[in-house]
Structure 1
Amino acid sequence: MPKLGKGGSLQSRQAILHSLVHTESWAIDLSWDIIARFGRQESMPREFFSDFVRVAQDEGRHFTLLAARLQEMGSFYGAFSAHDGLWDSAIETSQNLLARLAVEHCVHEARGLDVLPTIITRFRKGGDEHTADLLETVVYPEEITHCAAGIKWFRYLILRSLGGHQSATSLPGCAGFQSLSVVEKLPKQQQGGHEDGQSIECLERSLRSLEIVGSVECDAVIQTFHSTVRKYFRGPLKPPFNEQARTAAGFGPEWYEPLAVKDVKMPK
């Protein structure tokens, strides 16, 4: 892939925006793929389907808005070379829902959160307030919720495996229970539960009653995340990390810093 530049020229800004449009194109396909490929196979609850339908709708809107903006800038989608890293990862994780959630939705999506503030600044410095505003007010905040969906359902699978065979409907008080650790970072319209399936809120209530939810979060969930990323993602994660956005999405430094590039001191 040729370098995109830093947004100082029109061609550089076109190339950067083209890269974002391409990423949104893959994201649309991947949002529907995770539903069709894993939803029924893994007996996921209705809320899983609803979350990723919303993600797909967001990604489709992002694609439409950014592609239209690219045309306004005198270019079009397909005018530049584009990477296929997201699809390579999709193929690698096509048989494993945990891996798909970890790599696509908690590594690649989170990487987008890391780089978008810099991209927005470069467009502003290049005098393109229109594109900068579009990225800052529409794309960036919604990408945080997409990453949150990945974290939410990754945790769900681990909690479900530890929760045994109990159905959510058999747990007292599940219908109105909201887990702040998972749900509070999501938009209000994404906080409602569904009447069928095993919701993550109910599973956490069950585990909390056994006083193991803390160890579940620190040990089972995060350690599984580390081992999954190391197995299915090529190479270490690249800092700097957008800690504020990642925290808003529901995961702190203990999730990703152990997977990061380590500073190597050069000999004097």
Structure 2
Amino acid sequence: MELRHRALEVLCLSDPEEKAAAAIDLHTRKALYSIAEQAPALPLPETGLPGRPARPELRHHTAVARRSPATPEGRAVLMHAIAHIEFNAINLALDAVWRFGGMPAQYYHDWLQVAAEEAKHFRLLRDHLRTHLGHDYGDFPAHQGLWTMCEKTAGDIVARMALVPRTLEARGLDATPQIQHKLRNVATPDALAAVAILDIILREEVGHVAIGNHWYRWLCERNGLEPESHYQELTARYEAPRLKPPFNERARRAAGFTEAELAWLQQV
């Protein structure tokens, strides 16, 4: 059995629960798999990568509704949006495994760990939608901003590590405490249960961003690149979203951002 081949198979799965379960199983049994140098060639879904369910309907991010978490429907929309981010994050981690060759075994094992933990997060959020809010994943429209950057960086592993985990996913480190604050103010049982789920997600997302930081710097050293200046070049080249304060500096430091990087964020 070959690990990158299996990661691509899981990436192609369209059923969310099947994909989440398969991602967790692949991480659990990773030691049983060999790791090939060449990326596997498999028939891809007619809709392309990643495999995804018919719902949710995908729209441009400006066309996705935002509602106040003060209402049950607004909290359902919010938690659905986060669940969609976590579902996409499973795909992002699996794509990092199958697409890029010639990396140390630990790279592939790290991203399988990320995929498994994102699958756990997705399941927690989906269960919350079902049990507390009377909805399910797919009930509201969603957007594909994370996957769009994944496609743009498909040919450059350095850009992928720079702009997906340590840029787009790191935004979650900044946003989560603000979301939790709003939910605590609502203080209903479902809102407080959501805060507890977000505690788990935030703690583990720090580790995911740290993995992105580690491999970005590893690649920069291998390729003779200066990490901080090259990062700024990549954000311009790939038109990465402009990050706005407030920043969760404590979480970002824990994830491996340097003081110089934090100072640069405040200036852009």
Give the TM-score normalised by the residue count of structure 2.
0.72
Q: Which residue identity lines up with residue 76 of structure 2 in the other structure?
A: Q
Q: Which residue identity lines up with residue 67 of structure 1 in the other structure?
A: R
CA distance in 2, matches of 1:33, 1:160: 22
Q: What's the CA shift for 1:102?
A: 0.9
CA distance in 1, matches of 2:241, 2:83: 25
Matches within 5 A, 1:82-231: 82-126=142-186, 127=188, 128-136=191-199, 138-162=200-224, 220-231=226-237
Is residue 83–residue 122 contact of structure 2 (8 Å, CA) maintained in 1? yes
CA distance in 1, matches of 2:71, 2:115: 32
- Do residues 250 (structure 1) and 243 (structure 2) align? no
Q: What's the CA shift for 1:3?
A: 4.0
Q: What's the CA shift for 1:261?
A: 6.8
Inter-CA distance 235–111: structure 2 relative to 1 (3 Å threshold): closer
Inter-CA distance 94–260: structure 2 relative to 1 (3 Å threshold): farther
Q: What's the CA shift for 1:238?
A: 1.6
- Unaligned runs of at least 5 residues, structure 1: 163-215, 263-268
Matches within 5 A, 1:24-35: 24-35=86-97
Equivalenced residues, count: 202
What SS class does the counterpart of residue 233 from structure 1 fall into?
Answer: coil
| CA deviation vs aligned residue, 1:11-37 (integer Å, no higher than 9, x gap) | 111111000000011100110101100
Q: What's the CA shift for 1:225?
A: 1.3
CA distance in 1, matches of 2:198, 2:114: 16
CA distance in 1, matches of 2:267, 2:159: 20
Give the TM-score normalised by the residue count of structure 1.
0.72
Moved more, 77-86 or 251-260: 251-260
Q: What's the CA shift for 1:6?
A: 3.6
Q: What's the CA shift for 1:234?
A: 3.5
| CA deviation vs aligned residue, 1:165-208 (integer Å, no higher than 9, x gap) | xxxxxxxxxxxxxxxxxxxxxxxxxxxxxxxxxxxxxxxxxxxx
- Do residues 60 (structure 1) and 119 (structure 2) align? yes
Q: What's the CA shift for 1:5?
A: 2.8
1:198 matched residue in structure 2: none
- Do residues 4 (structure 1) and 66 (structure 2) align? yes
CA distance in 2, matches of 1:68, 1:113: 22
% identity of equivalent residues: 34
Is residue 210–residue 255 contact of structure 2 (8 Å, CA) maintained in 1? yes
Is residue 236–residue 261 contact of structure 1 (8 Å, CA) maintained in 2? no
CA distance in 1, matches of 2:230, 2:69: 39
CA distance in 2, matches of 1:76, 1:237: 30
Q: Which residue identity lines up with residue 91 of structure 2 in the other structure?
A: D
Mark the structure with the bigger radius of gyration: 1
Q: What's the CA shift for 1:231?
A: 1.2
CA distance in 1, matches of 2:180, 2:265: 26
CA distance in 2, matches of 1:124, 1:5: 16
CA distance in 2, matches of 1:61, 1:71: 15
Moved more, 28-37 or 237-246: 237-246
- Unaligned runs of at least 5 residues, structure 2: 1-62
Moved more, 11-20 or 236-245: 236-245
